[in-house]
Amino acid sequence: MKANIAKRVNKGCAACGMTMPVVVYKDKKYRGGHYFGKHPVYSKKELKKMWESGTHKSKVGDMEFDVLNYDGKPSKYVEYWECPRCYWGKRYPRNNAKNVSHS
C-alpha cells in the first residue's frame, strides 16, 4: 500500500485554520481532508471595476437574478480544504455540536 502514495502534504482548513496532513495517491485520490476545488481571488481594482460595471436581470426558469455586466479576471486561485471536524460539524450541527472541539 505504501508504494501507491505519491506525496504527503499539509493543507490548512479554510474554516478553522487547523493544519491537516493529506495523503495523495498516484491515482489522484486523497485522504485526510475534504477538498472543494479552487476558488478565484480578485484584486481590489478588479472588484471595483466589476461593481462599477453595473448589473442586468437574467432569468432562469421562474427565477430572476441580478448578474454583473463585467466578469472580472482573477489574480490567483486558492484551494478550499476543510478538516473532517469542520466538514462533519457543519453537516450535522445539532448531533455533533457537543463532540466538535477545535482546541
Is the entire prediction scored with pTM above 0.75?
no
The domain spans of the chain are: 2-96
Q: CA 90 to CA 86: how far, in whole Å?
A: 6
Tell me what the mean pLDDT of segment 3-23 comes to.
91
pLDDT at 102 over 70: no
Are 27 and 3 within 8 A, CB to CB? Answer: no
Tens-digit pLDDT profile for residues 64-82: 999 999 999 999 999 999 9
The closest of 95, 97, 86 to 36, measured between CA atoms, is 86
Cα 103 → chain centroid:
23
Quick one: pLDDT at residue 91? Answer: 56
